[in-house]
Chain A
Amino acid sequence: MIRNVLLLVVALVACPAFAHKASDAYLTIERNGASLRGQWDIALRDLDNAIGLDANGDGDITWGEVRARHADIAAYALQRLAVSSGGERCALSATAHSIDTHTDGTYAVMAFSGQCPVAGPTLAIDYRLFEGLDPQHRGLLNLVESGQSRSVVFSADSPQRIVGGDTSGPWAQFSTYLNEGVWHIWTGFDHILFLLSLLLPAVLVRDGGRWRTGNSFRAAFVEVAKVVTAFTVAHSITLTLAALSIVVLPSRLVESGIALSVVLAALNNLHPMVANGRWIAAFGFGLLHGFGFAGALHDLGLPAGSLALSLFGFNLGVEAGQLAIVVVFLPLAFLLRSTWAYRRMLFAGGSVAIAAIASVWLVERAFDVPLWGALAAGL
């Protein structure tokens, strides 16, 4: 080890032999459930370019100069790497700093660890190191998982990728996106609450200005099928249009619209405006939710090579996730439909709660203010 170090120093002093190469950084991430361990090798030349390492301006970067900036290096780099699992951002922090040599010179080596809120099926990685400073920079990721390693190249043109599982072939891509679709609907509470608002009255019948218990499971099933199908068809249309960039809406408008759709769907249970044509509402608002799914898909990034298949997989995943909710909901709701608990607590109380939650979302999203945080701080 010491011998190697000596040789390196001699090499640097004595020969100008390091290759000229475009800028690369070498990133290794090891995943074990929800916890991550990683190492990131970043060229000192590139770091100097970004945050200035040569404190005394003599053109030489010494270990002392690098050591003094370890906290800055970690902050700079980790701000430009977002790792998410199951739709939630993992917290990354630097654990150690050292030095290594690659073909084109000396690199700062930063070891880091990470903790994800959930252990999702895959990792969504957003890599922006040296964005704006060097469009030809590449991030070479090596992902190690259950003894297998896989490499991915990030560039200014493709800063986002989903990795993990077996994401190599088109079918593997398909199942990855299928998984992501399921995860998205399960962790996307606005979509679930919208669907529930429309489903809650399915086991009831509107009769003379009042809700009464429905008698037929078949009728309830048909009602649910109509709502779910309409919602599905609608959001599939807009998801596809948006994912292919045929129609693009501003995300603030879409997200606010989705919140509004949840408020309206819940209020409709309390003061029905639309009683027997809920599938129409499901279709109309479903169009809006499709744009929301497309936003999530955009964050994941669509692989150019298997775009159609990945889009189809994601959509199918959304449907599967939604169907799983319906399969659990419908029998339970049908069994409980005549109880006080269902009528008053779940149906009426639930709709009030959903309308309240969604109203907060609506204000947050429309005016871009973090209300939850303010409310929580007040408690």
Chain B
Amino acid sequence: MTGWRTSMCVAALATLAAGATAAPYVPQSDNVVLERLPEKGDPALAQLKRMRRALAARPADIDIAIPVARKALEAARQLGDPRFLGQAQAALAPWWTADTVPPAALLLRATLKQSQHDFDGSLKDLDRLLAAQPAAAQARLTRATVLGVQGRYADARRDCGELNGRVAPIVFLGCDAVPASLSGAAAYAYTSLNDELSTQRGSSDLREWALTLAAEIAERRGDFSAAERHFHDALALDPRDAYLKGAYADFLLERNRPEAVLPLLANDASNDSLLLRLALAEQRVPAARDAFVAHRADLAARFEAAQRRGDSLHRREEARFRLDIEKAAPAALALARANWNVQREPADLRILVDAARAAGDAAALEIAAQWITSTRMENVAVASVGMVRK
């Protein structure tokens, strides 16, 4: 049954992706289900829909707008569905371009700008918020995250330091661990985070978040068995977290265990970045050949659709797609470099290095090498690039 369904899916996806169904049609019966709305079977989303209806009647009511924007942001993060980001922004419309904005709306606006990769805009909002309310913990944490994504590790650590004693220890340590581990203090960052985790304190959400961070840091340090243990513990706490699944899938691909990725991501094809990992795994498993062909076509169609709308949010993923699946190194390198100008997380560095190597581009490799030395980054996946210089 599952096999039949899968092969039908694959066939249908392949026809879709190939554009064979470009002709509009008229369904044969009124009972044909054309679309399943996301709130089907999801009470939280059904509630969000009701709240949005209430907001439509009173769009300037901030007491409705804030929870709507917050819930929509949560949904976007959990499902990886950017339509909810549009809904969140719509809820914030009265305050989107305003100068005087209540703190709660300002924080959400900054978070949304971050999701649109408008990091400077996001930081500006957060600076304003923190200037008025230096003790706003969530704003501190968000600013540390944005600064970390930009590779401004010292600034990020300063913000995390401000959280010390004001929030649960796990939040402070998790906040600090990422920038610390990327700027020469990986051992310290890992040990302090791991010690805190072993106390079993903190809510399961926070522990899952911290375990994911610990797994990534352990992996960068080359301690793969610890990394795998943390990934497992994190997945036990939340098996649906898209970010965690992507990170674990990358870990498995890196360890050359593509078979393990297939069941992990079997139901995540709607999420672009998870579908990319799934396809990367299928590419290396001969038995998954048909699924790979269909998913490759699907990904190509999705990147094309994003390009048509002028979206540049997925350059990191697209670079990996062009490099590892389409074997188009120059195109991949152009994307990776453009992406590097905007965000500087370890994954951004990794694709820059891989694409530069494949394209034989010494200048791009030099950019990466300089970054690794100047930040004193510890990362086994790209360590050899830094070595070249020494």
Q: Interface of A with B (CB < 8 Å)? A: 1, 4-5, 7-24, 39, 41, 44-46, 48-49, 54, 58-64, 66-67, 98-106, 109, 132-138, 140, 151, 153, 155
Question: Are B89 and A20 closer than 8 Å at their CB atoms?
Answer: no
- Known contacts: A4-B21, A16-B269, A60-B40. The answer to whether A22 contacts B16 by CB under 8 A is no
Task: Give Cα distance in the complex from A196 to B41, angstroms.
Answer: 70
Task: Give Cα distance in the complex from A23 to B41, angstroms.
Answer: 22
Question: Are B9 and A14 closer than 8 Å at their CB atoms?
Answer: yes
Q: What residues of B have a CB within 8 angstroms of the CB of A109 in the complex?
A: 24
Complex interface bits, B35-58 against A, C-beta within 8 A gives 1, otherwise 0: 111111100001000000000000
B29 within 8 A of A: yes
Question: Are A24 and B308 closer than 8 Å at their CB atoms?
Answer: yes
B380 within 8 A of A: no
Question: Are A153 and B310 closer than 8 Å at their CB atoms?
Answer: yes
B8 within 8 A of A: yes
Q: Which chain B residue has the least Cβ–Cβ distance from A98?
A: B24
B32 within 8 A of A: yes
Q: Which of these, A24, A59, A135, contacts B305 with CB under 8 Å?
A: A24
Question: Are A135 and B93 closer than 8 Å at their CB atoms?
Answer: yes
Question: Are B35 and A106 closer than 8 Å at their CB atoms?
Answer: yes
Question: Are A136 and B85 closer than 8 Å at their CB atoms?
Answer: yes
How distant is A247 from chain B, measured CB to nearest CB, in Å?
22
In the complex, which of the residues A7, A16, A41 has the most CB atoms of chain B within 10 Å of its own CB atom?
A7
Q: What residues of A have a CB within 8 angstroms of the CB of B158 in the complex?
A: none
Task: Give Cα distance in the complex from A287 to B267, angstroms.
Answer: 65
How distant is A26 from chain B, measured CB to nearest CB, in Å?
9
- Within B339-364, the residues touching A (CB, 8 Å) are none
Question: Are B30 and A67 closer than 8 Å at their CB atoms?
Answer: yes
Question: Are B86 and A136 closer than 8 Å at their CB atoms?
Answer: yes
Complex interface bits, B206-242 against A, C-beta within 8 A gives 1, otherwise 0: 0000000000000000000000000000000000000
Question: Are B12 and A136 closer than 8 Å at their CB atoms?
Answer: no
Task: Give Cα distance in the complex from A62 to B34, angstroms.
Answer: 5
Q: What residues of A have a CB within 8 angstroms of the CB of B309 in the complex?
A: 22, 24, 138, 140, 153
Q: What residues of A have a CB within 8 angstroms of the CB of B5 in the complex?
A: 14-15
- Which 5 pairs across A and B sit closest by C-beta, in order of nearness? A59-B40, A64-B30, A11-B12, A134-B86, A136-B86
Complex interface bits, B16-28 against A, C-beta within 8 A gives 1, otherwise 0: 1100111111111
Question: Are B32 and A14 closer than 8 Å at their CB atoms?
Answer: no
How distant is B200 from chain A, measured CB to nearest CB, in Å?
35
Question: Are B306 and A21 closer than 8 Å at their CB atoms?
Answer: yes
Complex interface bits, B54-73 against A, C-beta within 8 A gives 1, otherwise 0: 00000100000000000000
20 other A-B residue contacts (CB within 8 Å) besides A11-B16, A15-B13: A4-B25, A9-B32, A11-B9, A11-B13, A12-B33, A15-B6, A17-B270, A18-B270, A20-B83, A22-B86, A24-B309, A46-B83, A60-B40, A61-B33, A61-B37, A99-B25, A99-B26, A135-B90, A135-B96, A138-B310
Question: Are A15 and B269 closer than 8 Å at their CB atoms?
Answer: yes
B148 within 8 A of A: no
- Known contacts: A15-B5, A15-B269, A24-B309. The answer to whether A63 contacts B27 by CB under 8 A is yes
How distant is A74 from chain B, measured CB to nearest CB, in Å?
15
Q: Which chain A residue has the least Cβ–Cβ distance from B21?
A: A4
CB pairs A–B below 8 angstroms (18 shown): A4-B21, A5-B27, A8-B16, A12-B34, A12-B36, A13-B33, A19-B270, A21-B83, A22-B85, A45-B35, A45-B38, A49-B87, A60-B40, A61-B34, A62-B33, A132-B90, A136-B89, A137-B86
Q: Which chain B residue has the least Cβ–Cβ distance from A68?
A: B30
Task: Give Cα distance in the complex from A11 to B310, angstroms.
Answer: 28
Q: What residues of A have a CB within 8 angstroms of the CB of B272 in the complex?
A: 19-21
Question: Are B90 and A153 closer than 8 Å at their CB atoms?
Answer: no
- Known contacts: A10-B8, A18-B270, A23-B83. The answer to whether A48 contacts B31 by CB under 8 A is no
In the complex, which of the residues B31, B39, B270, B272 has the most CB atoms of chain A within 10 Å of its own CB atom?
B270
Q: Which of these, B6, B36, B93, B275, contacts A132 with CB under 8 Å?
A: B93
Task: Give Cα distance in the complex from A20 to B270, angstroms.
Answer: 6
Question: Are B271 and A61 closer than 8 Å at their CB atoms?
Answer: no
B293 within 8 A of A: no
How distant is A365 from chain B, measured CB to nearest CB, in Å?
30
Q: Which chain B residue has the least Cβ–Cβ distance from A140?
A: B308
Task: Give Cα distance in the complex from A98 to B27, angstroms.
Answer: 8
Task: Give Cα distance in the complex from A151 to B118, angstroms.
Answer: 26
Q: Which chain B residue has the least Cβ–Cβ distance from A64?
A: B30
Question: Are A7 and B305 closer than 8 Å at their CB atoms?
Answer: no
Complex interface bits, B279-323 against A, C-beta within 8 A gives 1, otherwise 0: 000000000000000000010011001101111000000000000
Q: Which of these, B11, B83, B305, contacts A134 with CB under 8 Å?
A: B83
Q: What residues of A have a CB within 8 angstroms of the CB of B30 in the complex?
A: 62-64, 67
Task: Give Cα distance in the complex from A20 to B40, angstroms.
Answer: 16
Q: Which chain B residue has the least Cβ–Cβ distance from A156?
A: B89
Question: Are A103 and B35 closer than 8 Å at their CB atoms?
Answer: no
Task: Give Cα distance in the complex from A105 to B309, angstroms.
Answer: 16
Question: Are B21 and A101 closer than 8 Å at their CB atoms?
Answer: yes
B202 within 8 A of A: no
Question: Are A7 and B15 closer than 8 Å at their CB atoms?
Answer: yes
B262 within 8 A of A: no
- Known contacts: A7-B12, A14-B8, A103-B16. The answer to whether A22 contacts B24 by CB under 8 A is no
Question: Are A63 and B31 closer than 8 Å at their CB atoms?
Answer: yes
- Within B74-121, the residues touching A (CB, 8 Å) are 79-83, 85-87, 89-90, 93, 96
Question: Are A4 and B40 closer than 8 Å at their CB atoms?
Answer: no
Q: Which of these, B21, B35, B39, contacts A100 with CB under 8 Å?
A: B21
Q: Which of these, B34, B59, B87, B302, contacts A99 with CB under 8 Å?
A: B34
Task: Give Cα distance in the complex from A59 to B34, angstroms.
Answer: 11
Q: Which of these, B37, B46, B298, contacts A19 with CB under 8 Å?
A: B298
How distant is A159 from chain B, measured CB to nearest CB, in Å?
14
Q: What residues of B have a CB within 8 angstroms of the CB of A14 in the complex?
A: 5, 8-9
Q: Which chain A residue has the least Cβ–Cβ distance from B33?
A: A60
Q: What residues of A have a CB within 8 angstroms of the CB of B29 in the complex?
A: 63
Q: Which of these, B13, B20, B39, B83, contacts A22 with CB under 8 Å?
A: B83
Question: Are B11 and A16 closer than 8 Å at their CB atoms?
Answer: no
Q: Which chain B residue has the least Cβ–Cβ distance from A138?
A: B309
Q: Which chain A residue has the least Cβ–Cβ distance from B42?
A: A59
Task: Give Cα distance in the complex from A113 to B302, angstroms.
Answer: 30
Q: What residues of B have a CB within 8 angstroms of the CB of A54 in the complex?
A: 37
